Structure 1
Amino acid sequence: MSDAADVKPLPPEPAASSWAAVFSLALGVFGLLTAEYLPTSLLTPMAADLGVSEALAGQAVTVTAVAAMLSGLLTASLTRKVDRRIVLLGFTVLMIVSNLLVAVASSLAVLLVMRILLGIALGGFWSLAAAVAMRLVPSTLVPRAVSIIFSGIAVATIVAVPLGSYLGEWSGWRSAFLAAAALGVVTLVFQSLALPRMAPRVTARLATLWTVLRRPGFALGIVGMVLVHIGHYALFTYIRPALENLAKADVDELALLLFVFGVANFVGTLVAGWLLGHSLRLTLALMPALMGVAALSLALLPVGRAGYVILVVLWGLAFGGVSVAWSNWATRMVPDQAESAGGLVVVGVQSAIAGGAAAGGVMFGIGGVVTVFTISSAVLLASALLIALRVKAPDTARI
C-alpha cells in the first residue's frame, strides 16, 4: 500500500473551543506526573517501611516507565472502538486506584503492581492527549492547547518532589500517595464535567504503528526526538552533582536552583505554544540548541554564580518546550493517525529517558560531571542540526 493511500481524510475540526476540557487534561497530566515523581523524594522512608533496600524500592520508578512505554504503544489499537472520553476517564480512575493501593501496600510486590497500573494510565493518557486536543479546539489553536496540557508536566516537576518530601516528613510517605489519590478524585470530577463525548474516528491496529513509521520523514523525526531526550536526561540525571561541583551550590542554593529550573520549565511550555504558531521547525531545532549551549557553558565556562543561574533558567526554558513541540509535530505529520503517532512519541520518550540515564551513568563513571555535560551537549547540538536540516516539520497539518 502506498503512503498516499495510507492517509485518511480528516473529519471537520471543532467550530468552537472547549478550554475547560483542555484544562481538565492539563490537570490529568499534572496528577499523573506528580504520582510518577513521588518516589524520588520518598525512597528512603518507603524502603525502610517495606523492609527492602533503596535500590529495590527505586524499581517503583522503573516499572512505571516500562508500563507507560507499553501502554503508549498499545492504547490506540486496544481502545479503537471506545469513546475517547471514557478512555481518558478510565485512565484517571486507574491513577486513583494505583495511588490508594500504594498508600496501603504491605509489601514491595503489591506496591510494584500498583505502580504498573499508574504506568498504564500515564502512557495511555499521554499518547492520546495531543490527538484529543485536535478535537477540542480549531487547528489554529492546537499548539496553544497542547502547550497548556503539557504544562502539567512542568508544574509536577516543581511540586512533586517538595510536596512528597514535606508530607513524608509531616505524616509519613503513605500520606503523599493519599494526597495524590485525592488530587485524582478532583481531576475525575473536573474531567467528567468538562470532557465531551468523542467517538473514535480511526480504526488503529498494531499494524498502524508500522504504517505511521513508514510515512515520509516520520521515522527520522522520531530519531531526532530520541536524541534530544537522551541528551537531556543524561544531563538531568546528574544536575545535582553538576550544581554542587561546578556552581559550588550548597544545599539551600541547590534547592533554589532546582525550583528556578522547574519554574523556567513551566514558562517554557507556554512560550513554546506561542513559538509553534510561528514555526514548528524553528521550535524543534531551537530547544536542543539552547540546551546544548547551556550545558556546554555550565561545564566549561567560569560564568560565576549569576551566570550559572542564567544558564539553568535557559536550560529549563528550552526543555519546557520539548514535549509540546514534538507532540505537535506528531499530530501535524500524521493528523489522520494522531493517536498512533502519539503512542510512538511516548515510546520514544520513555526509552530515551532510560537510555539517557544509563549513558549518563557510563560517562559519569569515566570522567565525572564535566564529561557528562560536554558529551551530552554535543548530542543535543548534533540533534538540533539534524532537525534543522533533515527533519520534516510542516507548519500546518498535512491532509
Structure 2
Amino acid sequence: MREQELFAVPKHTYWLAILSLFMGVSSLITSEFIPISLLTPIAHDLSISEGVAGQSITMVGVFAVITSLSLSPVVKHINRKIILLSFSVMVIISNLIVAFSLNYTVLLIGRALLGICVGGFWSMASAVTLQLATPKDISRALSIVYAGVSIATIIALPLSSYMGNIIGWRNVFIIAALMGLVSLIWQLFTLPSIPAQKGNSFSSMFNLLQQQWIFIGILAIISSYGGYHIVFSYLRPWLQNDLQLASNIVTLTLLLFGIANCVGTLIAGLFLGQFFKITMVMVHLLFFVIAITLFFSKHLITENLIMIFVWGLLFGFIPVGWTTWITRTLSNKAELMGGLSVAAIQLSIGLAAAIGGNLYDYFGSGGLFIASAVVMLFAILLIHHSFSIYLKMMNKPI
C-alpha cells in the first residue's frame, strides 16, 4: 500500500498545532521524570527506600508498553485530536493523584495512569506530525516536537529538585498538573481534525515484527534507551550520595545536564542527516566508554561531572536518531512503528529503573555503570546488524 493512501499530506504546515505538541511533550516527559530528581524526599516521606521509590518510574513504563501496543488497533477509527485531548486530561489527573497520595499504593495508581498517557501519546507522535507538516517541513517539525524532551529534562531535573527543596515534592506535581492544563487548552484551540491512518491492526503490527531488520531494530531501541536510563534514573542519588555534592550543587549539576541534553538535540540533526549509521554507532560507543570510565574514577569529582555532562549531550542524539530511522524507512507505517518503538522505549525505561534500583541498593553506583556499559555494547551490535540487513534488502542506505 502506498504512503499517500495511508495518510493525507497537508497543504500547509500547522505550526501552532506542532508547538502545542511540543508543549504536550514537555508536560508529559516532565511528569514522567520528576521522580528522578525527587527520589530522596519521596522515599523519606513515604517511608520507603530510594530503590523502591524508583519503581514509580517502572510503573509508568509497564502501562506505557501495554498502551502503545494496543492503542492504534483499538481506536483505529477515532479522530486523533480527540485522543490527544483525552491524554492531556489524564496527565492532569495523574499528577494530582500523585500530589495528594497518602501512601505508596496511591502514588503508583497515579503513575500507572500517566503510563497510559505516555504510551498513547508517543505511539502517535510521529504519525500525527507527518499529518501536520508538509514534506519539506517534517524534519523541522519533528525537531520542535522532540525539543520538548530536552526542555522537560531541564524542568524535571534541576528545577524540580530546586522547587522540591523550597515548596515540597507534592507541590511540584501540582505545578506539573498546571503544565498539563496549559497543554490541554493549547491543543484544544490549535489542533485540526486528524483522521486515523489506515491499516492500523494487530495483524499489521505483527507483520512488521516478522521482518528481521525491524525486530532487531526494536531490540536495539530497548538496549539504547535502557543503557542510558540505568544511569539516568539514579542520577540524583549518585550525585548526592556518591559524589557527596551539596544540594545546591546537585541542582546546578542537573541544570547543566539538561542544557547539555538540549545542545545534543539541536546538533543531532547535523550529524544524523549526513552520516546516520556511523553517528548512531559512535554515539553508543561513546556511552560505553563513559560508563566504563565512570566505574574506574569514583573519587574524581570534576572528571565525573564533565563525563556526566557529555552523557546528557549524547542522549540528545537518541530520540532524534530513532525517529529518523522510522521516518526514513517506514513513514507509511509511522503510527504502528511509533507504537512498537514506544513499547520498546518504555519497556527499556521500566526495566532500567527496576534493574537499576536493585543494582544501586545492593552494589552502589558501580553496578549501574557496568550494567550500562554491557547494554550499550549490545546496542552497538544490534544497530550494526539491523542497518546492514536493511541495506542488503533495499539496496539503499538509511
With the length of structure 2 as denominator, give the TM-score of the two structures: 0.84
Question: Residue 312 in 1 paired to residue 308 in 2?
Answer: yes
Cα deviation for residue 158 of structure 1 reads: 1.6
1:1-399 aligned at under 5 Å gives the runs 9-42=5-38, 53=48, 59-105=55-101, 108-240=104-236, 251-300=247-296, 307-360=303-356, 368-370=364-366, 372-391=368-387
**Letter of the aligned partner of 1:17 in structure 2?**
T
Is the alpha carbon distance of 1:161 and 1:262 closer, same or farther for their aligned partners in structure 2, counting shifts above 3 Å? closer
What's the secondary structure of 1:262's corresponding residue?
helix
**What 5-or-longer segments of structure 1 have no aligned partner?**
none
CA distance in 1, matches of 2:305, 2:23: 29
- Does the 8 Å CA contact 1:143/1:277 hold for their aligned counterparts? no
Q: State percent identity of aligned pairs.
A: 36
Cα deviation for residue 109 of structure 1 reads: 4.4
- Does the 8 Å CA contact 2:216/2:385 hold for their aligned counterparts? no
CA distance in 2, matches of 1:254, 1:82: 45
CA distance in 2, matches of 1:300, 1:43: 26
- Does the 8 Å CA contact 1:212/1:337 hold for their aligned counterparts? no
Segment of structure 1 superposing worse, 358-367 or 85-94: 358-367
Cα deviation for residue 194 of structure 1 reads: 2.1
Indicate the structure whose relative CO is greater, using CA pairs within 8 Å and at least 6 residues apart. Answer: 2
What's the secondary structure of 2:346's corresponding residue?
helix
Is the alpha carbon distance of 1:42 and 1:220 closer, same or farther for their aligned partners in structure 2, counting shifts above 3 Å? closer
Cα deviation for residue 309 of structure 1 reads: 4.0
What's the secondary structure of 1:221's corresponding residue?
helix
CA distance in 2, matches of 1:171, 1:362: 30
Cα deviation for residue 113 of structure 1 reads: 2.8
- Does the 8 Å CA contact 1:101/1:111 hold for their aligned counterparts? yes
CA distance in 2, matches of 1:335, 1:367: 43
Is the alpha carbon distance of 1:168 and 1:250 closer, same or farther for their aligned partners in structure 2, counting shifts above 3 Å? closer
Give per-residue Cα distances to partners, 1:37-89, cap 9 Å, x unaligned.
Answer: 2334455665676x664576655433222111211111111221111111111
**Letter of the aligned partner of 1:70 in structure 2?**
I
Q: What is the RMSD computed on CA atoms of the aligned residues?
A: 3.5
- Does the 8 Å CA contact 1:212/1:334 hold for their aligned counterparts? no
- Does the 8 Å CA contact 1:230/1:356 hold for their aligned counterparts? yes
Is the alpha carbon distance of 1:356 and 1:47 closer, same or farther for their aligned partners in structure 2, counting shifts above 3 Å? closer
Segment of structure 1 superposing worse, 316-325 or 306-315: 306-315
Segment of structure 1 superposing worse, 332-341 or 217-226: 332-341
Is the alpha carbon distance of 1:212 and 1:389 closer, same or farther for their aligned partners in structure 2, counting shifts above 3 Å? closer
What's the secondary structure of 1:277's corresponding residue?
helix
**Letter of the aligned partner of 1:151 in structure 2?**
A
Give per-residue Cα distances to partners, 1:311-332, cap 9 Å, x unaligned.
Answer: 2232111111212211231233
Cα deviation for residue 218 of structure 1 reads: 0.5
CA distance in 1, matches of 2:137, 2:9: 11
Segment of structure 1 superposing worse, 273-282 or 239-248: 239-248
CA distance in 1, matches of 2:229, 2:38: 21
**What 5-or-longer segments of structure 2 have no aligned partner?**
none
Cα deviation for residue 262 of structure 1 reads: 1.5
